[in-house]
Amino acid sequence: MKMHLRLSWPVLAVALTSCGFVSSKPDALIAVASNFTATADLLEEAFEAAYDFDVDIVSGATGQLYAQITNGAPFDVFLAADVTRPLMLEEAGLIVDGSRFTYAVGALALWTANIENVPRDDSDIAAVLLESRFQSLAIANPDLAPYGAAAMQALEALGLVERVEDRIVRGANIGQVFALVSTGSAEFGFVAQSQITTAGSIGWSLAVPAELHDPILQDGVLLQRAAENDAARAFIAFLRSSEGHDIIERHDYRVPE
């Protein structure tokens, strides 16, 4: 049975070199921002059904993955949740020239797994956060995770930072935020709309108006170490194909024209 990696570097290095963890190295190793993990898994499945290549997905916060790449993690493709880190890698000469592109535009949502947390006026984010009695509002670390940065921008635009800052808890990435809310450890959280779609619309959610934060443009790159890696190049081509776009859009992302 195929193994899906969810490991950090240097733990990943041990897994890749120990047959006790991974029987063989994949043809390409794809670093994926946490919010895009479920979608990347489906892309991987469809890609491997169409091509004679084996790829593995490694997920984490965009900032963490960027740091791992600059410290020598053996990734071939990087699918970030922002444009900043891929651009920094490009400026450092760590990607194949001309390989940077926007593969998805994300959407942010306020979510609770327990509908009883939601007040009667549930059509406005400010009203929900001001009228609800809650102890914790989960947000991904804005220094590492673009969705966390977008959440803070939305709170600032609504004038809510001072009203809720003593109840904000931070997850290292958007995956941790989703876990905090789904287990009830935090009553509310700002998550990717795609995570709610994947979970089957459990609880209650409200889309954050796009004008409240910078666009969540998610860029991908082919890393320099994979310049001659046919599997990595084929995966990016599949990601940009009509079949790849269909999978991405089914998870509440927009594909740039």
pLDDT tens-digit readout, 220-249: 999 999 999 999 999 999 999 999 999 999
Angle CA 162–163–168, to nearest 5: 85
Question: What residues does 88 pair with on adjacent strands?
Answer: none
Q: Assign residue 217 a region: left if phi > 0, alpha if psi is -120 to 50, beta otherwise?
A: beta
Q: Using DSSP, state whether 109 is helix, strand or coil.
A: strand
What CA–CA distance (Å, rounded) separates 72 from 59? 16
pLDDT at 195: 87
pLDDT at 187: 96
Does the domain at 11-105+215-249 match CATH 2.40.30.10? Answer given as no
The residue-averaged pLDDT of 133-140 equals 95
CB atoms within 10 A of CB 89: 22
Helices (runs of H) and strands (runs of E) counted in the chain: 11, 10
The string of pLDDT tens digits covering residues 23-33 is 468 999 999 99
What CA–CA distance (Å, rounded) separates 192 from 177? 10
* pTM (two decimals): 0.81
pLDDT at 201: 61
User: Is residue 30 within 8 Å of residue 65, measured between CB atoms?
Assistant: no
pLDDT confidence of 12, banded at 50, 70, 90? low
pLDDT at 16: 47
Give just the sign of the alpha carbon dihedral 27, 244, 199, 137: positive
pLDDT at 3: 44
How much of the chain, in percent, has pLDDT values that exceed 90? 76
The residue-averaged pLDDT of 145-170 equals 95
The string of pLDDT tens digits covering residues 36-71 is 999 999 999 999 999 999 999 999 989 999 999 999
Domain boundaries, the chain: 11-105+215-249, 108-207
Q: Does the pLDDT of residue 7 top 80, yes or no?
A: no
pLDDT at 11: 47
Nearest Cα neighbor of 165 from 124, 128, 136, 131 is 136
Q: Does the pLDDT of residue 4 top 70, yes or no?
A: no
The larger pLDDT score, comparing residue 120 to residue 11, is at 120
- Check if 11-105+215-249 and 108-207 are the same fold: yes
Q: How far apart are the first and last CA of the chain?
A: 37
The larger pLDDT score, comparing residue 11 to residue 190, is at 190
pLDDT at 21: 40
Q: Assign residue 203 a region: left if phi > 0, alpha if psi is -120 to 50, beta otherwise?
A: left
Report the mean per-residue pLDDT for the chain: 89
**Dihedral, CA of residue 54, residue 194, residue 238 and residue 71, to nearest 10:** -60
Angle CA 145–150–156, to nearest 5: 130
What CA–CA distance (Å, rounded) separates 44 from 38? 10
CATH class of 108-207: alpha beta
pLDDT confidence of 99, banded at 50, 70, 90? very high
pLDDT at 14: 42
pLDDT confidence of 173, banded at 50, 70, 90? confident
Place of tokens 């700002």: 190
